[in-house]
Amino acid sequence: MLAQGHSRRAIARHLGWGLNTVLRYANAARWQDTIRENRPRPSRLDPYKPYLERRFTEGCTSVTRLHSELVAEQAPVTYGMVRAHIATLRGAPSTAPPRSPTVRQVTGWLTRHPTALTEEGRVGLKTSWPVAPNWTWPPDKSVNSARCSAAASAQRSLSGSAPSKPASYPALPASHVTCSGTSTP
């Protein structure tokens, strides 16, 4: 576009680029000259980072205390700068315990048929099962008994009589209902 006689400002407007970007490309002799290195910019905190790291290793992890110590030395730093640097020093705890499953997840695992559980669900259910020692493993018995009682109450409310066969409910095939007293497969 420069060869066609357009000004650098007109090119910037036409392309939607900043003027400095257009100037960088216009002044480059080859495309490699347009690549800028992403060097970390110097920070006002840089001269104080060794001090912060030493205090952090000594056990002082309070950002408020470290910031007040630097301000007392007339350091031109902000609380946010100190907090960001201390966050990099803390990093992620390597021995963090895994998150507990939510009530919703455990309820989903318990109410699904064991064959419908994903591998993650099976592992989660097995690890959360010892929390309730009076339950039995595998969970399909307790799930089936819940389905039996639901089927029995639904059948009673629909027909007004005692339950006869759970296979009459498409959602509850006879192979899944194995409780005694409410149905016979």
Query: Do 73 and 44 contact (CB within 8 A), yes or no?
Result: no
How far out from the chain centre does Cα 130 lie?
Answer: 26
Provide the number of structural domains found in the chain: 3
**pLDDT tens digit sequence for 54-80:** 999 888 889 999 999 999 999 999 999
Q: Which residues, other chains included, contact 141 with Cβ-Cβ below 8 Å and sequence gap of 6+?
A: 178
| Residue 148: per-residue pLDDT | 53
Structural domain of 10:
1-36
Please report whether residue 167 resides in a domain: no
Please report whether residue 181 resides in a domain: no
**pLDDT tens digit sequence for 73-98:** 999 999 999 999 999 888 856 555 67
Kindly state whether residues 85 and 130 are assigned to the same domain.
no
